[in-house]
Structure 1
Amino acid sequence: MPELTVETDAGALVRRSVLPGGIRVLTEAMPGQRSVTVGAWVAVGSRDETDGHHGSTHFLEHLLFKGTPSRDAMAIASAFDAVGGEANAATGKEHTCYFARVLDADLPMAGEVILDMVTSATLDPEEFDAEREVILEEIAMNEDDPGDVAHERFATQVFGSHALGRPIGGTPETIRAVPRDAVYEHYRRTYRPSELVVTAAGNVDHDALCAQVLDGVRTGGWPLDAQAAPAPRRQVVDSTAGAGFATGPSTRVLHRTTEQANVLLGGLGLPAGDDRRFVLAVLNAILGGSMSSRLFQEIREKRGLAYAVFSFSSGFADAGMFGLYAGCAPNKVEQVLELLADQWLLLATNPVEIDELQRGIGQVCGQLVLGLEDTGSRMSRLGRTEISTGELLTVTETLDRVRAVTPEQIRDLAAELHAQPRHLTVVGPFTEHAADGAARFEKGVPHA
């Protein structure tokens, strides 16, 4: 059982073991905690779906809570409710996670139930049809939120025909069309030992959890080849080499009967493993990550043009996304877009002052440390790191990299992002024919 042990901060200890079948188990023992968060991850997300299976990954997230041969949906829910625990799941573009937060004494129960769900879901046909309707309602709910619509359409513009541009939950058309057999095939093809990563943080015994994982997987009937290696991480490819990403700028205007316009401007960002991700974190803090950021000060504080305004980024194995958002009155869209574009260009052409740099660094460092105060965030950090890069940095190492960011690095990265084809998404009370007008909204940005 190959193992890695790393002593992290404040006496916490991270251990990683590779079990038969290529299963990986990572734990972070946190002194003084009375709770544990445990998660079962598979490195399978919406981007891994093939034709005829679109929406299957998110469908499985729902269906795994519907029952196994040994417990039905009520038994799964009651197991966690009876101990005051919380259980949930999340589907991403590159992974799916089933997790629970419980008292340390209840970890054996939580681990048993989650492993039973992951290895032995029945995907009952009647439950399948009922859950299809639930997912359609979830999609409808998201479509009623103009902010969600704007972000979803923006991702589609940025990533083009690439699988990263597909909605995680599928579309009403794909959910209505996908048959139970296709989802079951997707489950059997992608949920296997070499893809399984189990992480836990809190008052957890690593050896005991490893033994429980092996027992749970064997009970579920998964084959465990002692010589099997973990599934390799995704291959990082050049995101500009014709992989389906959008190659030119675009503008999209979507009509919604709203009192406010939702505006998104941006393009491709950095992959999750890029060494400059620490520079991007500070850049984001300075541009639109706080109340003292440039976007907040210029658009909200000085001019009162928006309540919500910020910048954001997300990273995947071979690409990322970077954008600026504002919610404003429909008749203020042109002015707001000019300010968004101007502030981005200013950051791309002039190094930031030292005091602004230090404020941005301080914000990133503080949020990092505060964000890791609970067992759930620590569990998630272990899982995401193992699946994406495998580079598990201590908090101190991460803080050192953030503190090493320079004004020139921020300017150069902002300029690189600014040079990418830019995409504009506007959702609000406009007609679809407003695209020509929207092209005039943004100062100095070419449009296709």
Structure 2
Amino acid sequence: MPRPLDLEGPGSGVGTFDHAVEGGGRLQRTVLPGGIRVLTEAMPGQRSVSVSATVAVGSRDEHDGHHGSTHFLEHLLFKGTPRRDALEIAEAFDEVGGEANAATGKESTSYFARVLDADRAMAVDVLLDMVTSATLEPEAFELERGVILEEIAMTEDDPADVAHETFTGAVFGQHALGRPIGGTPETIRSVPREAVLEHYRRTYGPSELVVTAAGGVDHDELCELVLAGAALGGWDLAPDARPVARRTGETIPEAPGSATTVNRPTEQANILLGGRALPAGDPRRFAMSVLNAVLGGGMSSRLFQEIRERRGLAYSTYSFSSGYTEAGLFGLYAGCTPGKVTEVVAVMDEQWRALADTPVSADELRRAVGQLSGSLVLGLEDTGSRMARLTRSEISLGELWTLEETLEALRAVTAADVQDLAADLRTSPRSLVVVGPFTHDLAGELLARTA
């Protein structure tokens, strides 16, 4: 197995590296005063740059009374600072043809932009201004409360989103990872501005900040821009400060298996079957990727071939996994007419069981690894994907895999690895969610048959 580049943590000295990668690129990392971490991947010949400012704080870190604050801040940071109002923030990117956006997760919140390399100084200045100096004005706060409620309502109108949110809650139970990232209508209506402001002041600081960039970027210049932006924001940039320790998490009690039927007057039922899976940094995550590719990752996958191609039971079907610090989740999805739910759940369980009982063939393993390898290489031609990879490596993994190392790790996965993992996943309590026009406990009846 390849040995990834270790990302130096707190107390490890200057915390820098400079590493040549394939194609003439360079990976560099510096820990700045205040504990700010800066990582870059220079991509020769690129005329664009993607840059992000991320704090290692997500919805799972909200205190009681603050639920929904993390996502609330994602919206509010675009609404103005002492140096710029909301329109000026938007105009800064529009006038150069750039793009800016943000994303809230369970374990981090990221603000990012993609611009021409000539405009990278502007992008860093605006992003750091937002992160360090958002004003969270009362009027903007109340306006955005309404916008977020509309966003939640839009999600509630999508039965597939309802199924996924219900499934996550079932798998993680009462743990914070089971909460909706955006909060609920009740928490958003009740959370006061003071609580969101307190959450902002508590969690947005230099030791939490990770700035990553990929494309047409100069590492030393970016470090200078970040320091200038943090200083303008009034942050304390103590020379001896270190980054916060990476999240180590806690033991999450395994929730019992559950069956949930959500009654919705839909033309199609949405089904999710699965349970607990691997943490983000688990060495078996490469086997998990191959397992997903074989089971539900494309048109040649077992779910697609059996449910759609051979039986015509559904249009959309796939498998998926998500990993967090202590645990992950794994699921199988399908959308079908209500009368076919029983058969679809049976096929899902049969295919999962078959993967655990019998090794995949050499041809199937080769196709899965080829699919993942090709998708990875094509995806990393984009500066945004490389930027996101740096962020995830720094915040979640503590190690950075080059493209060739990742491809080698995928090629090292064996049929036995996939079979053993599929069997391990089946030992966890399973949850089944069915969303559709059902007034009885259909999910309960069907889950009992998969035991």
The residue that corresponds to 1:353 in the other structure is 361
Contact 1:341 1:442 in 2 (8 A): no
1:439 lines up with 2:447 in the alignment: no
- Whole-angstrom CA distance in 2 between matches of 1:443 and 1:340: 14
Question: What residue in structure 2 maps to residue 260 of structure 1?
Answer: 268
2:55 maps to: 42
Q: After TM superposition, what 4+ stretches of structure 1 lie above 4 angstroms from structure 2?
A: none
**Is 1:343 equivalent to 2:356 in the alignment?**
no
Counterpart of 2:315 in 1: which secondary structure? Answer: strand
Structure 1 residue corresponding to 2:31, chosen from 7, 14, 18: 18
Q: Is the CA contact (8 Å cut-off) linking 2:262 and 2:438 kept in structure 1?
A: yes
CA distance in 2, matches of 1:443, 1:126: 51
Secondary structure of the residue aligned to 1:158 is: helix
Structure 2 residue aligned with 1:85, among 75, 98, 107?
98
- Partner SS, residue 44 of structure 2: coil
Matches within 5 A, 1:42-441: 42-239=55-252, 242=253, 245-246=254-255, 248-431=256-439, 434-435=440-441, 437-441=442-446
2 CA distance for matches of 1:208 and 1:165?
40
Structure 1: give runs of 5+ residues left out of the alignment: none
- What amino acid does structure 1 have at the position aligned with 2:379? G
Amino acid at match of 1:86: E
Q: Is the 8 A contact 2:259 2:447 kept in 1?
A: no
Once the two structures are aligned, what percentage of the paired residues are identical?
66
User: 1:95 & 1:378 partners in 2: Cα distance?
Assistant: 17
Contact kept in structure 2, 1:313 and 1:323, CA below 8 Å: yes
Q: What is the deviation of 1:442? A: 4.3
Instruction: Tell me by how many angstroms 1:390 deviates.
Output: 1.5
Query: What is the count of residue pairs matched by the alignment?
Result: 438
Matched to 2:193, the amino acid is R
Given residue 344 of structure 2, which amino acid in structure 1 is its aligned partner? V
CA drift of 1:444 comes to 3.6
**Structure 2, unaligned stretches of length 5 or more?**
1-13
Partners of 1:13 and 1:443 in 2: CA distance? 54
Shift of 1:10: 1.4
Distance in 2 separating the partners of 1:438 and 1:98: 39
The normalised TM-score by structure 1 is 0.97
**Conserved in 2, the CA contact under 8 Å of 1:313 and 1:322?**
yes
RMSD: 0.9
CA distance in 1, matches of 2:214, 2:408: 23
SS at match of 1:5: strand
AA of the residue aligned to 1:441: L
- State the Cα deviation string for residues 110-166 of structure 1 (Å, max 9, x = none): 000000000000000000000000000000000000000000000000000000000
Alpha-carbon distance in structure 1 between the residues aligned to 2:135 and 2:199: 13
Distance, in Å, in 2 between the alignment partners of 1:226 and 1:438 is 57
Give 1:236 shift.
4.1
SS in 1 for 2:335: strand
TM-score (norm 2): 0.96
Aligned to 1:326, the other structure's residue is in SS state strand
